[in-house]
Structure formats: structure tokens, C-alpha cells
Structure 1
Amino acid sequence: MVLDGVTPIILVVVLGFFSAKLQMFSLNSAKELNRMVFFFALPMFCINLITNANFEKFNFILLACYVFSQAVTGTIGSLVAHRFWKLPLKTSVLIGLATTLSNHVLFVLPIAQNLFAGYIIDQISAIIIVDTILIALIVISVLEGLTSQSMSLFGILARLSKNPPVLAVFAGLLMVALAIELPVYLTKLVTFSAYAAAPTALFSMGIVIYNTPILAQLKFAVAISSIKVILQPLVFMIIAGGLLHQSAEMLKPGLMVAVGPSGTMVLVFASAYNVDPKPLAPVVVLSFLISIPLLCLTLLL
């Protein structure tokens, strides 16, 4: 059952890898595919997710525990990168983002949808909605403060207005709050376009894996990836399971997201704020490879 849910997702990555190996696609091709996902497919996905979400069934205790685990690992990741590896402050902030933000939209959720329904999908959806708004707001605020001599609310809002997934989340929430129903043809457009997000991004990930020299920064990538896919789920389980006594069944969706790999959004922020992506790409790739067996084990709980 687990293999039936995971294997199709992994095979898309494998196809991307071999397409790059056969020189059918280059790293520039992957960048263009990611641009399509970021500016078109992912916003459609976010609107589709939110307008179909069951907000009444969100487990806010689970959500709070997950956000707390993000705060812990994000802080540790940034400090390790800046103090131990002596990376610039902006790069360290994005390393913190890499240890905070899971690739839940394009990796964890598609696997979950292949295997589950109901509670698990509802809670992963809740995490995605909060992540998209909260993490983007915090990271953009910090990077704006480091980039500009004076951080302003206008500057932060201007950056947020250039982030299509964030705009899509706000649009989706507004539609839900005002009970706005789109015409049938627009609803079908959103649903149809949303299907393109995950396979395109996963295929692109395969291309990136082939073109990323992990061994050149192996120690750094292992250290940061471990914070993301090992420490974050441990912190989450200690808080949710140990202190708040959430059952294994109740905390499972949060744990699935916690063991997920670093989100590729970190590379988008690096491009937007002129940060060298070289320390970031190996973390995204290695955390993806490490998370696969960990996620499979989590699915068996």
C-alpha cells in the first residue's frame, strides 16, 4: 500500500533525472519549469486547496505544535549556518528557511492523497495554508530588513504582492470568507491547472538532482538536512506527543510534513534577494533523498 502511494511520485523524479542524464533537459530547463510552477500551477493549486478545505476539521493543537517545531529548527539552522559555517546573514536566514519549510505541497501532499483521505489531508492542508502566509511573511520581513536600510510595511507588502502563491492563498481565503462561487468554467480551469504543479516540480527536481554536486558540500548538506528531516520531527513529537499527549493517529499528518524535504521555495527567495544558491541546492537535494525512507516509515504508523 505504501509503495503504491510513494512509487509514482518517486518515478517522476527518476524520469527527470534520466532526462537530464540523456541531455534532454538542462538545469536552465529546470529553472523554466519551476517558474511555470511558481507563477501559474502553484497559485492555482493553492486556490483549489483552500476553496475545498474543511476548516472546521483543522486540528489547531497539532498546527501550533508544528509551527513551534518550525521555529526551533529554523532558529537552529540559521545559527549553525552563520556561527559555525560562517555564511553571510542573508544566506543563513535562507538556510533557516530550508530547515523550516517542507516540500509539503509538491511532495508530501501528493503521496498522502494517493493513500489517505479525510483527517490526514485536512491537517496537511492546514499546515500548507499557514506556512504559505506565516513563513513567507516572516522570511520576507527579515530579508527586507537585511537588504534595506529601513524596513517598511510598504516594502514588505510590495514583496508579498510579487509572490503568486501568497496572493493565491489570500484570494482563496477571501473567496471562502465571502462565500464567493466561481463560474463552473473557472472552477474547472483552477482544478485542471492545479494538477500540473506536483508532477512538473518533481520532474524538475530530478533534473536538479542530476546537476547538483552534493559531494562538494557534503558535510554542510548533511548537517542542515539532518536538522530538517530528523530534528524537526523529533521536536514535533516531543511537543505534540510527549507534552500534549496527542495520539500517534492524531499527530501523523504533522509528522509526515515534518519529515518531508526542504521546500524548493528557498531557491526562489535566493533568486529574489540575490543570495548565492550554491549552499542551498545541495540541502534541497540531500534532504529529499534522506526524507524518502523516513516518510515511508512514517506512513506505516
Structure 2
Amino acid sequence: MRAVMNAILNVVLPVFGIMLAGYLVGRARILGEDSGRALNGFVYYVALPALFFGSMADVPLARIFNWPLILSFGGGLLVTFLFSIAVALVFFRGRFGEVSMHGLTAIFSNTGYMGVPLLQIAFGQQGVLAAVITTVITAVVVIGIGVILLETDRHQGSAPRVIARNVSLGLAKNPLILSALAGILYSWSGLPLPQPVATFMELTGNAAAPAALFAIGLFMVGKSLTEGMREVVWISSLKLLVAPLVTAWLAYSVLGMQGVDAKAAIIQAALPTGALMFVLAQQYGVYVQRATSVILVSTVLSVLTLSALFVLLGVQ
């Protein structure tokens, strides 16, 4: 259990270290006022597309379709998302994009940066495969839904036909969607990635998480993160407690799963909100401050909730 605790701290503390570095640089005014937005643009248009394409192109499609794992993890996200949206419509009313981001931040797990090392330490190579599958679901499906919802919000007020056309055009030009689809098509072709291309994708994609976290630190300068704390704590509770509980129910009671896949699905659902929610929020100019607060609060609290979860699952 000590190894698990060390692993949790080893992935949580660097998250705060990078955000703190961004905050200190912002306070010192070392970079220009638009540096955060420029860095966010790099993540959205360069680093994340490289990460999405490289991840999808490098994984054979047959390995991705582990249906019990997909249904338990994806079903847990869907139920939590719909529940959070229903609550937001009653207690945290806002424009369509704000309500959508409320639901997205309640389900978007930090599967890549935190989930992969944690599952590798806990379960070895089988845990890594489960981490890859759940990361694909998070990156492609959740982000795809998020882009659709935020594009709809952007064009709200237009006629339904105009909204449908604009959303379709937005999806067709979205770098995250395009890169993921291109990666899937390349994986389907069965061709290996040329080594220079694979290295480029790996180097560029690896910059996504630290750049996004650094941009969060820059954004935090001069902002009050206590605003809307009731909503922030509620979303963090959904992310850290409700999502894994629903996933556990689906895995054990509905699908009859056992072993590593069931535990991996639950752990991935219980991870804190990932930094990509900040990137998405800032890109569309909606829910930026709340998304930042949820990332911070859920990451802090995850040290306790993940530790308790590992004990309950019997992970040594």
C-alpha cells in the first residue's frame, strides 16, 4: 500500500508544481499578457492533435474493443453526466455551454497523466492496456461530445438548420476530432508509423499535459478561485465519488466483471478532472474559472479518495 500511496503523491505533486510554476511566472510578468492564450492554442492545435493521432495510430483496433471495460467505464461516465446535467439545470442554472461544461468536468478523468502510471504500478501490463482503452474513450468520445455541445452553444439563437450546419462545420474543422479520426484510420490500415513520425508525435504529444497545466497557472493570476465554490465542491464530489460508484455497480452487478478490468475501470472513473477541461473551456470562452477550480480541488481531494479506493479494491 505504501507503493500505491507514493505513486499517487508522485503524480499529484508534479501537477501542482507545474501549475505553481505557471502562476509564479505570471505573477512576475515574465511572459506577456497573452502568453496563456498562446500556450493554450499550442496545446489545442498542435500538442493534443499529435497526442490523439499518435495514440490512436499506435494501438491496433482489436485491442481497443474490450466491451465489458468500455461499457462499464463509458456507462459510468454517461450516467454521471446525465445526473450532473439534471442537477445543474435545477440548482446551477446558466447558458447551455455552462451547463454542458458542468457535466463534462464531472466526468473527464485525468486518465493519461495519472491513470497510466497508477494502473501500471497496480496491475502491470494488463493495467496499462486498460488505461489506454479508457484514455481513448475519454479523449475521443468525451471530447467529441464536448465539442458538439460547445459548438451548439456558440451558435445558439440561430435556426435549427443553421445550428446543425455550423456544428457540422465546427466538427469538420476541429483539430481534436480530425486527429483522432485520422489516427483510427491509420490504425485500421495496419501500417506501422514511420519512426520519425512516431517520435514527432510522442515528443509533441508529451508537451500537452505540462503546457496545459502551466497555462492554468498563468490563468490563476489575479483570479478568485473561491467563487462558485459550492458548485465546484459538488462537481468534485461527482467526479471522485459518484462516477466510480456508478462504474462499480455497472462492472460488478450489471456486467458481472471480475479481476483487473473491473478495478481499472473504477480507478479510471475515480481520477480527478483532467487539465484538458481548462483547454476546452478557454478555447470556447465558457466556464474557464469553474473548470480551473474543479481541476485544483478534485486533484487535492483525490489523494484521499484514491488512497481509500485502492484499499477497498484490495490493491497492495
Q: Shorter-normalised TM-score: what interval?
A: 0.7 to 0.9
SS at match of 2:229: helix
Trace 1:85-234 onto structure 2 (pairs within 5 A). Answer: 85-113=92-120, 117-146=124-153, 147=156, 148-151=158-161, 154-206=165-217, 213-234=224-245
Q: Matches of 1:259 and 1:88 in 2, distance apart?
A: 28
- Determine the C-alpha separation between the residues in 2 that align with 1:212 and 1:110: 32
**Aligned twin of 2:55:** 49
**1:212, distance to aligned residue in structure 2 (A):** 5.2
- Give unmatched runs, 5+ long, in structure 1: none
Please identify, of 267-276 and 69-78, the stretch whose mean Cα deviation from structure 2 is larger: 267-276
> Shift of the alpha carbon at 1:74?
0.9
TM-score (structure 2 length as normaliser): 0.81
Gaps of 5+ in 2: none
- Partners of 2:114 and 2:212 lie apart in 1 by 9
Please give the alpha-carbon distance, in whole angstroms, between the structure 2 residues aligned to 1:165 and 1:142: 14
Q: Does 1:37 align with 2:43?
A: yes
SS in 2 for 1:263: coil
Aligned equivalent of 1:259, options 254, 259, 270? 270
Shift of 1:240: 0.6
**Deviant stretches of 4+, over 6 Å:** none
Question: Secondary structure of the equivalent of 1:161?
Answer: helix
Deviation of 1:115 after TM superposition, in Å, equals: 6.0
Q: State which drifts further: 172-181 or 10-19.
A: 10-19
3-state secondary structure, aligned to 1:75: helix
Larger mean CA deviation between 72-81 and 128-137 belongs to: 128-137
2:50 and 2:194 map into 1 onto residues whose CA distance is 15
Residue pair 1:105, 1:128 contacting (<8 A) in 2 also: yes
Equivalent residue, structure 2, for 1:60: 67
Please tell me whether the aligned partners of residues 61 and 188 of structure 2 are also in contact (alpha carbons under 8 angstroms): no
- Contact 2:40-2:283 at 8 Å conserved across structures: no
C-alpha distance in 2, partners of 1:77/1:272?
22
CA, structure 1 residues 157+265, in 2 after alignment: closer, same or farther (shift >3 Å)?
A: farther
Offset, 1:158: 2.1
Q: Is the 8 A contact 2:144 2:177 kept in 1?
A: no
SS of the residue aligned with 1:214? coil
The two structures, once aligned, show a CA RMSD in angstroms of 2.9
Identity of aligned residues (%): 23
> Does structure 1 conserve the Cα–Cα contact (< 8 Å) formed by 2:272 and 2:302?
yes
1:103–1:264 CA contact under 8 A, matched in 2: yes
Separation (CA, whole Å) in 2 of partners of 1:114 and 1:233: 20
TM-score normalised by L of structure 1 = 0.85
Name whichever of 253-262 and 243-252 sits farther off. Answer: 243-252
